[in-house]
């Protein structure tokens, strides 16, 4: 039973109750409309989105908590520990706090793009969740070009950042937006190229089939180790975390392109960052670490465990590295990662031609 059937079962049951109520009250036409297959399908999809959003939200919240605790331990302190068990509810408290904050629009900001940039940001981040399956039964869509879709959505973000940075009418945020555009564009290429090897080996762009291919042979981290390294570096740059968090480099650009955002918009941007972090880690797991494969535990749990392990690597990097400069970041991208990704493709082609996988 997959997620769709499960949700459909619940929706049908709920609709059944409501229909019985409506019939009893005498609204037979309405009951008939509600019971039609199209409406049921629509409600099912709606229910599915809510489930997926809830999962994404919980994962993001857990990631923030994980980051706080792990970073705290790396820094020889304890991290959040007061609100809730081991400080788990601290994030929810912070979210409520940002909700209560006044939302200030700078007087000279360009209002429409300023207001829409966070919407695009959070919207594209949520859209990412749609294409990420937690297992072969827990997914929303089964796109044949799932991987391309994920990275197409990933690359909407620089647009939002540039828009927000420019519309804020602040020099820091303008520079932050510019940096972000340059960085994301130059890291998109090695990122996609490092994926090509995996796609070649699996013979599909469908995420489910890639995982299936790994189940049948080995995890692609072994034949594609160079690709994995390139992918991890590029994905850290893509989700803008230290050492590649230049667009919001706080020491020189205050808070980068976020500088002028306050209140819940800031909270949403923060949440979007972690949605993207989740998506990045999830793609790494799907492409290289065997997806949801694993013994004993249910596949969804395995998937999340792997995602949290990959995210731990992100936190680890943050705890031990300094920030890279913008020209250096572009140099690394074009002069180091791009050739490595090319080498990786050659390796993948060789493996495929020799028929090892």
- Residues near other proteins (CB under 8 A), total: 30
> Does 113 engage in binding with other proteins (CB under 8 A)?
no
The minimum distance between CB 232 and other proteins, in angstroms, equals 15
> Does 323 engage in binding with other proteins (CB under 8 A)?
yes
> Does 88 engage in binding with other proteins (CB under 8 A)?
no
Residue nearer to other proteins on the CB measure, 2 or 255: 255
d(CA 304, CA 92): 21
Q: The tokens 């989740």 sit on which residue?
A: 278
Q: Which of 5, 328, 335, 356 binds other proteins (CB under 8 A)?
A: 328
Residue nearer to other proteins on the CB measure, 217 or 331: 331
In this structure, the chain runs to a length of: 357
Residues in 169-198 that interact with other proteins by CB under 8 A: 171-172, 175, 178-179
Residue nearer to other proteins on the CB measure, 134 or 242: 242
> Does 79 engage in binding with other proteins (CB under 8 A)?
no
Provide the token pair at 90.
């601290």
Helices 299-320/37-74 angle, 10° precision: 40
Q: Which of 21, 96, 252, 350 binds other proteins (CB under 8 A)?
A: 252
- Write the DSSP assignment of 290-303 as a string of letters: -TT--SSS-HHHHH
Stretch that binds other proteins, among 190-198, 204-212, 244-252, 340-348 (CB under 8 A): 244-252
CA distances for 28 relative to 13, 17, 22, angstroms: 18, 14, 7
The minimum distance between CB 172 and other proteins, in angstroms, equals 7
- Write the DSSP assignment of 210-278 as a string of letters: HHHHHHHS--TTTTTHHHHHHHHHHHHHHTT-TTS-GGG-HHHHTTGGGTT--HHHHHHHHHHHHHHHH
Number of C-beta neighbours around residue 83 at 10 A: 14
> Does 38 engage in binding with other proteins (CB under 8 A)?
no
> Does 106 engage in binding with other proteins (CB under 8 A)?
no
Contact 35, 19 (CB under 8 A): yes
List residues near other proteins by CB under 8 A.
Answer: 71, 74-77, 171-172, 175, 178-179, 242-243, 245-246, 249-254, 319-328
């Amino acid at each position: 039973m997959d997620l769709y059937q499960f949700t459909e079962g619940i929706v049908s049951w709920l609709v059944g109750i409501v229909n019985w109520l409506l019939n009893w009250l005498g609204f037979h036409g309405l009951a008939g409309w509600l019971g039609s297959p199209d409406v049921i399908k629509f409600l099912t999809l709606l229910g599915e989105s809510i489930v997926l959003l809830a999962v994404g939200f919980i994962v993001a919240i857990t990631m923030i908590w994980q980051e706080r605790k792990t970073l705290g331990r790396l820094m020889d302190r304890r991290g959040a520990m007061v609100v809730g068990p081991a400080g788990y509810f601290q994030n929810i408290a912070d979210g409520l706090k940002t909700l209560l904050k006044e939302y200030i629009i700078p007087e000279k900001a360009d209002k429409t793009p300023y207001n829409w940039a966070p919407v695009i940001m959070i919207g594209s981040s949520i859209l990412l969740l749609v294409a990420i399956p937690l297992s072969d039964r827990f997914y929303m869509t089964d796109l044949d070009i799932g991987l391309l879709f994920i990275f197409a959505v990933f690359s909407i973000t620089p647009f939002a950042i540039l828009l927000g940075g420019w519309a804020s009418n602040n020099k820091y945020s303008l520079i932050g937006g510019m940096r972000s555009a340059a960085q994301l564009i130059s890291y998109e290429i090695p990122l996609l190229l490092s994926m090509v090897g995996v796609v070649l080996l699996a013979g599909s762009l469908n995420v489910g089939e890639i995982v299936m291919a790994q189940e049948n042979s080995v995890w692609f981290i072994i034949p594609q180790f160079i690709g994995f390294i390139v992918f991890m570096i590029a994905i850290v740059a893509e989700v803008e975390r230290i050492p590649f968090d230049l667009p919001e480099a706080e020491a020189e650009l205050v808070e980068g392109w976020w500088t002028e955002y306050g209140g819940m918009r800031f909270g949403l941007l923060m949440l979007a960052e972690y949605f993207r972090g989740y998506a990045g880690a999830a793609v790494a797991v799907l492409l290289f670490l065997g997806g949801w494969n694993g013994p004993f535990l249910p596949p969804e749990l395995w998937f999340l465990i792997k995602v949290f392990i990959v995210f731990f690597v992100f936190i680890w990097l943050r705890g031990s590295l300094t920030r890279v400069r913008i020209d250096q970041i572009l140099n690394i991208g074009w002069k180091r990662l791009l050739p490595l990704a090319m080498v990786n493709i050659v390796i993948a082609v060789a493996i495929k031609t020799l028929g090892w996988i």
